[in-house]
Structure 1
Amino acid sequence: MPDPLIITVAPNGARKLKTDHAALPISPDELAQTAADCLEAGAAMIHLHVRDEEGRHSLDVEAYRAAIRAVRNRVGKDLIIQATTESVGIYNADQQMVMVRELAPEAVSLAIREICPGPAMEEKAAAFFTHLRDAGIFPQYILYSKEDIRYFRDLLTSGVIPDPGPHVLFVLGRYSPGMTSDPSDLLPFLAAADGMDCDWSVCAFGALEGACALTAAGLGGHCRVGFENNLLLADGTIAPDNAALVAQVGGQAGFMGRSVASAAEARKLLGMG
């Protein structure tokens, strides 16, 4: 039997506001409610972004702690809580790494092109990646292009990334016209990653997010869905909330031969703790 499908929900992202969707969760209480709803819909992980008092993207450790505490109080250990280091043109690699070291989250997503943009950062990045391993912080490495994948391979080969079987996220549509994606966009990523020993997930911008997620499920990967990348259901209507996007994928996973993973199953599959 194939491994169960790990569905991650990305409920808000760094840029969207309540004006984009009234149900976009921003406050700790809103994130906690969204976490509970998405857990019931089939999510095993929540990808958290936090905001400052003006609603702007933030990597503030105390804001993260408040959000994580609220989510954990609501769902316990029934969801993996993943922080993001996304820069959004505000934070440099040093600031991103300092935040993770101080916060010490259960899991964290890291864009390779931000954390280790080139050879000049490799020594510092290697120390950081080793710290994650030693501290028991589970990293997910974000890759936006074939070029990112090629560089990621080099980092694995050279030992800069010490993980023997890393988990990566292929992002479809971030740099395409109109930031839209299609299931076929996954194929060049898989071709570039052929032979690389890794687990992988997909997230996709635009109305075909669900189709991309199910394509990943059919090809043995995992997926991330939510308002960060898309507000639309498969029929073109606006989703009432993040849970509807999770349920849409979870409800169809069986057609791809996959059951839906719980957080406990996801932790086991990902080698977490």
Structure 2
Amino acid sequence: MNLPRIMVAPNGATKTKADHPALPITLDEITETARACRAAGAGALHLHLRDDAGGHLLDSGAYREALAHLRPRLGDMAVQVTTEASGRYAPGHQRYVALQSGADMVSVSTREMLRDEARLATRFYEEAEERGIAVQHILYTREDAEALAQVLPARLFRSPTLQLIFVMGRYIEGQVSTPAMLSPFRDWMRDEAITPDWAICAFGQGETACLRAALEAGGKVRVGFENSLVMEDGRPARDNAERVAAIAALQSSAGCPVSGQSARSERLASGS
């Protein structure tokens, strides 16, 4: 299973409608947003759920119900579930949810997995592979990447189906991202002589510039309100679909097709 060129992350674990009124919270809102983003050019949804109080929720039963709701409504749009701890969940719970949610795509932070014993992380990666679950490994720094190389079985680490996402700007003061933040990860892939299926996400107003750099380097991207609420010129985005359409237009200008892209995405990107 390959990553799509563009994945949308429409809400994240902590933002609320106070941050942006178009941020989707309920499952119905997430569904509507995902459909609009699919039409704008996104090939997959990065799914976060919230509890009744709006807090971050990792629950295998809730994920199963959400996936049953989403799959018939999203057509060929893939759904990846998050296992983000967000300060609420321990690695054992995260592993359980990843394996029991019914998802065939999950994102997992190496840094969070290694809060527990390394052997437990290794066994989890093996079990996910045995079950046909595609794990996208979240890496914040080159040090995270080097740690992943130590705990991931070699046959998985060297596989061209290895899925990575490099996170740019998350732990920088003000969550400012720049294209230069991609260089340590590209250097690491070169030094390890690996050719994984890689993507990036980036925080703040620098999001678009970073995603452009990744696309030009042959990578893939995740875009959306989880990471940034603004367009490249700093104005607030109308909604997630406008962010997706802007990145789909970048992908199109590079001469590469985007799943779900249409004339509508170009109109959204231009604001018409």
TM-score (norm 2): 0.89
Aligned residue identity for 2:35: A
> What's the CA shift for 1:250?
0.3
Aligned residue identity for 1:46: L
> What's the CA shift for 1:262?
5.5
Match of 2:128 among 124, 132, 141: 132
Q: Percent sequence identity over matched residues?
A: 40
Counterpart of 1:266 in structure 2 is none
> What's the CA shift for 1:183?
1.2
Looking at structure 2, the residues matched to 253 and 5 of structure 1 have their Cα atoms a distance apart, in angstroms, of 12
> What's the CA shift for 1:5?
6.3
Counterpart of 1:223 in structure 2 is 221
Q: What are the Cα deviations for residues 27-64 of structure 1, in whole angstroms up to 9, with x where unaligned?
A: 11111101100000000110000011000001022322
Name the Cα RMSD after superposition.
Answer: 2.0
State the secondary structure of the residue aligned to 2:117.
helix
> What's the CA shift for 1:67?
2.5
Looking at structure 2, the residues matched to 83 and 39 of structure 1 have their Cα atoms a distance apart, in angstroms, of 17
Of the structure 1 ranges 245-254 and 190-199, higher mean CA displacement relative to structure 2 is found in 190-199
Aligned residue identity for 2:89: Y
Counterpart of 1:141 in structure 2 is 137
State the secondary structure of the residue aligned to 1:203.
strand
Looking at structure 2, the residues matched to 197 and 138 of structure 1 have their Cα atoms a distance apart, in angstroms, of 16
State the secondary structure of the residue aligned to 2:221.
strand
The 8 Å contact of residues 9 and 46 in structure 1, kept in 2 or not, is answered as: yes
Looking at structure 2, the residues matched to 255 and 51 of structure 1 have their Cα atoms a distance apart, in angstroms, of 36
Aligned residue identity for 1:183: P
Looking at structure 2, the residues matched to 14 and 44 of structure 1 have their Cα atoms a distance apart, in angstroms, of 21
5+ long unaligned stretches in structure 1: 264-273
The 8 Å contact of residues 39 and 260 in structure 2, kept in 1 or not, is answered as: no
The 8 Å contact of residues 31 and 67 in structure 1, kept in 2 or not, is answered as: no
Match of 2:109 among 97, 111, 119: 111
Aligned residue identity for 1:31: I
Aligned residue identity for 1:182: T
Match of 2:81 among 74, 80, 83: 83
Aligned residue identity for 2:56: H
Looking at structure 2, the residues matched to 241 and 68 of structure 1 have their Cα atoms a distance apart, in angstroms, of 23
- What count of residue pairs does the alignment treat as equivalent? 257
Looking at structure 2, the residues matched to 171 and 121 of structure 1 have their Cα atoms a distance apart, in angstroms, of 23
Aligned residue identity for 1:29: D
Within a 5 Å distance, the mapping from 1:223-262 to structure 2 comes to 223-261=221-259
Q: What are the Cα deviations for residues 138-192 of structure 1, in whole angstroms up to 9, with x where unaligned?
A: 1100000010111122234x54956723110000001111111011211122112
Counterpart of 1:204 in structure 2 is 202
Looking at structure 2, the residues matched to 4 and 164 of structure 1 have their Cα atoms a distance apart, in angstroms, of 14
Looking at structure 2, the residues matched to 162 and 50 of structure 1 have their Cα atoms a distance apart, in angstroms, of 29
Looking at structure 1, the residues matched to 72 and 259 of structure 2 have their Cα atoms a distance apart, in angstroms, of 21
Looking at structure 2, the residues matched to 5 and 70 of structure 1 have their Cα atoms a distance apart, in angstroms, of 21
Counterpart of 2:183 in structure 1 is 187
Matched, 1:164 2:162: no
Runs of 4+ more than 6 Å apart:
none
Looking at structure 2, the residues matched to 154 and 98 of structure 1 have their Cα atoms a distance apart, in angstroms, of 22
The 8 Å contact of residues 143 and 168 in structure 1, kept in 2 or not, is answered as: yes
